[in-house]
Amino acid sequence: MKQTEFLNIVLPFKDKLFRMAKRLLVSTEEAEDATQEILIKLWSKKNKIESYNNVEAFAMTMTKNFCLDRLKSKQASNLKLVHSNYTDSSTSLQSELEAKDSINWVERIMAELPEQQKMVLQLRDVEQYEYEEIEELLDMKPTAIRVALSRARKTVRKKLMEKHNYGIA
């Protein structure tokens, strides 16, 4: 397989790999490193890559497993919390600060979710995967996906409501 063919297959979902890694590893630098490692692993399998039914699902599974391994390793204690910046030039400073605050709260809440709920919420609500794709990626039954997603959304909603209603009687 030529480099251009490989890039045509892999580049369309490279950002999804990064977002998945960032959600799991939190640090932008760690997520970039993880994404690069996955792309290198995919390149090393470039001759077999066309034999996979769904290259994107394969790459996402590789990313998930790689990140979970990183978190379990001794290096996990060295990961630092780095939040991405949210900017929108058309909004007021107040709105921008509120949006950043909300994003940070959602990220913190998602970080506290059980691993399975975090993965399902990331794949479904952030990455916009279909249930069938999540089934394949996480090797879960459809009902388990829906239950995990429902619980994750309920937890995020509840904690955001508690945060926003704090001090209001």
At 128, which CATH number?
1.10.10.10
Total number of domains in the chain: 2
Dist CA 110 CA 113 (whole Å): 5
**Residue range 1-10: mean pLDDT, rounded:** 77
Which among 39, 58, 82 is the end of a domain? 82
Tell whether 78 and 96 lie within a shared domain: no
Identify the pLDDT of residue 168: 57
Identify the pLDDT of residue 166: 66
Question: What residues contact 105, with CB distance under 8 A and at least 6 apart?
Answer: 159, 160, 163
Which has more pLDDT, 130 or 100?
130
Tell whether 72 and 101 lie within a shared domain: no
Task: Say yes or no to pLDDT of 118 above 80.
Answer: yes
Domain interval for residue 157: 92-169
Which pLDDT tens digit goes with each residue over 59-101? 888 898 888 888 777 454 554 443 344 444 544 677 777 777 7
**Residue 87 within a domain:** no
Task: Say yes or no to pLDDT of 15 above 80.
Answer: yes
Task: Say yes or no to pLDDT of 36 above 60.
Answer: yes
Tell whether 120 and 49 lie within a shared domain: no
Tell whether 70 and 145 lie within a shared domain: no
- 108 touches 32 (CB < 8 A): no
Identify the pLDDT of residue 35: 92
Dist CA 101 CA 84 (whole Å): 12
Which has more pLDDT, 141 or 92?
141
The two structure tokens encoding residue 84: 């991405």
Task: Say yes or no to pLDDT of 133 above 80.
Answer: yes
Question: What residues contact 46, with CB distance under 8 A and at least 6 apart?
Answer: 1, 6
DSSP assignment of 73-102, as one string?
SGGGGG----PPP---TTS-HHHHHHHHHH
At 3, which CATH number?
1.10.1740.10
